Amino acid sequence: MPKDGSMSESKQKILEAASELFLEGGVKAMSVRAIAAKAGVSTIGIYSHFKGKQGILDALFIEATEMVSAAMDAGNGAPTAKAGMMANAEAYLDLAEKHYAHYRLFFGESDPDYTPSEEAQELARAAFMKLREHAAKLHPADASSQDIQETALTFWALLHGFVGLTRHMGAPRAGVADWRALIMRAVEEKLNTYLN
Amino acid sequence: MPKDGSMSESKQKILEAASELFLEGGVKAMSVRAIAAKAGVSTIGIYSHFKGKQGILDALFIEATEMVSAAMDAGNGAPTAKAGMMANAEAYLDLAEKHYAHYRLFFGESDPDYTPSEEAQELARAAFMKLREHAAKLHPADASSQDIQETALTFWALLHGFVGLTRHMGAPRAGVADWRALIMRAVEEKLNTYLN
DNA sequence: CTGACATATATAACACTGTTATGTTTGTCA
DNA sequence: TGACAAACATAACAGTGTTATATATGTCAG
């Protein structure tokens, strides 16, 4: 949520309304008329303050990016590299679960017409860099940049892939008692391959 | 593509037009007016033959499902279980690359308003079952159903996660020389954990 | 204080979307 | 041939994001 001091009252109201609608109903629930009505302003405010719908989506994308970034900070200060990354995984899965609309927006799965701004993209890259720093701790000090990157990408792929599958109608519903346990097992197993 | 004998000329023209537009520009390029114009009919045909836009998306979803299913058949007849699943992975990645719009539709990433029909969902489940049969070959004959399912899900999660990352603006562009090689290494490494 | 300019705002209109309504044409069958 | 169903063309509808037009408010220099 934005701070009061850096934003006019209208702008803030608009963004709050958009965030609430998004959280409740995803991008479908967030027409400019719905946002304006909920904020108690007319639609023109969305154009003057945010340059239109894309600007609203950018603001939400940045929120999503901050959430992902915070998840990548969850492992900070952990006693071991493995414990750090396990904490990152839990935080990431929590994020996906509690803020799925934001998660989907981050992965370009929300609105076929939305392309993140350059600023937004820069923040997404910074979030990946955080993950990469954690991954580096799994490797010896002289490990190649490529190896570290590959580790970070594989970790992320595993998490992201599972998040998608938990909601896919092709994946079995009845046979998976505990998705979280399954995912954490797979992640831990993967991390163990770096410790041997 | 549908067979001539089971479909009227109009219905076929409409579906061909839709497929072409979808392939070129994804769901955004596929308004009912664009489909009708390309097919040389009026929009009403989409309602009488397909019950509307959702019916078009269902037909395309079924195409996507058939593609995924075919990818899961790629490993049939391979000399080892590992070779079979490696072939499945290559076919799956080929599918995602060559038919990305179909792939996204299959994973619910195309159109926030689209929900697959029950028939379409059933086909998606059948595709997963094929993958599961390949995964079973990695395990001893007395392996539990749960273990086999977990293996299939992890394999799929890894592939799906990587497909998503290759297109994510947060993932490094310049640092990954060869995504395919990276993914296949990660998949092979995962498969190797079942062979020890 | 006033005028020029920028920003914010309300409302209407526009162009596009998927869908429904209305009427006509064509095909099937007793 | 008439009744009915399916297919079809076109117009109208209700919703979408956006732009156009006019008005109100805020800022700043002279």
Residues close to nucleic acid strand C (C-beta < 7 A): A 8, 10, 41-45, 47-49; B 30-34, 43-44, 46-47, 52-54
Distance of A78 CA from C2 C1′ (whole Å):
65
CA distance B5 to chain A (A): 30
Q: Which residues of B fall within a CB distance of 8 Å from A152?
A: none
Q: ∠ CA B51-B53-B59 to the nearest 5 degrees?
A: 80
- pLDDT over 60 at A60, yes or no: yes
A156 with B145: Cβ contact below 8 A: no
A170 with B128: Cβ contact below 8 A: yes
Residue B33 CB burial class (10 angstroms; 0-12, 13-18, ≥19): exposed
- pLDDT over 70 at B125, yes or no: yes
- Using C1' positions and the CA of B10, the closest nucleotide is D7
Confidence of residue A72 (pLDDT cuts 50, 70, 90): very high
Candidates B160, B167, B179, partner chain A, best to mutate (most A CBs within 10 A): B160
Confidence of residue A3 (pLDDT cuts 50, 70, 90): very low
Give residue limits of the domains in chain B: 1-50, 54-192
CATH number of A58-192: 1.10.357.10
Overall average pLDDT of the A56-77 stretch = 95
Answer for the pair B64, B103: CB distance below 8 angstroms, yes or no: yes
A189 with B186: Cβ contact below 8 A: no
Assigned superfamily of A1-50: Homeodomain-like (1.10.10.60)
**CATH number belonging to the domain at B54-192, selected among 3.40.50.720, 1.10.10.1200, 1.10.357.10, 3.40.309.10:** 1.10.357.10
CA B101 – CA B84 distance, rounded (Å): 26
Q: Which residues of B fall within a CB distance of 8 Å from A189?
A: 193
* Mean pLDDT over each residue of chain B, to the nearest integer: 91
A103 alpha-carbon distance from chain centroid: 4
Confidence of residue B174 (pLDDT cuts 50, 70, 90): low
Confidence of residue A6 (pLDDT cuts 50, 70, 90): low
CA B178 – CA A108 distance, rounded (Å): 22
Give the closest residue to B96 by CA, choosing from B159, B174, B176: B159
Q: Which residues of B fall within a CB distance of 8 Å from A193?
A: 189, 193
Q: Which residue is nearest to nucleotide D9 (CA to C1')?
A: B42
- pLDDT over 80 at B50, yes or no: yes
A150 with B186: Cβ contact below 8 A: yes
Candidates A160, A192, A196, partner chain B, best to mutate (most B CBs within 10 A): A160
CA A182 – CA A41 distance, rounded (Å): 47
CA of A169: which chain B residue's CA is closest? B121
Distance of A93 CA from D23 C1′ (whole Å):
50
Looking at residue A2, its pLDDT comes to 41
Overall average pLDDT of the B147-165 stretch = 95
B171 with A161: Cβ contact below 8 A: no
- pLDDT over 70 at B40, yes or no: yes
pLDDT tens-digit series, residues A137-185: 999 989 999 899 999 999 999 999 999 999 987 777 666 668 999 999 9
CA A142 – CA A153 distance, rounded (Å): 19
pLDDT tens-digit series, residues A109-120: 998 889 898 888
List all nucleotides in chain C with at least one atom under 7 A from a protein Cβ: 7-12, 16-22
B121 with A185: Cβ contact below 8 A: no
Answer for the pair B82, B195: CB distance below 8 angstroms, yes or no: yes
Residue type, A195: L
Cα separation values, A182 from A162, A172, B23, B157, Å: 9, 13, 35, 12
- Using C1' positions and the CA of A56, the closest nucleotide is D17
Give the closest residue to B107 by CA, choosing from A160, A114, A186: A160
- pLDDT over 60 at A4, yes or no: no
Higher pLDDT, B104 or A6: B104
B157 with A162: Cβ contact below 8 A: yes
pLDDT tens-digit series, residues A27-40: 999 999 999 999 99
Buried b (16+ CB within 10 A) or exposed e, B48-72: ebbeebbbbbbbbbbbbbebbbebb
Cα separation values, B106 from A28, A116, A154, B33, B62, Å: 19, 23, 23, 23, 9
Give the closest residue to A111 by CA, choosing from B101, B110, B160, B103: B110
CB pairs under 8 A between A and B: 131
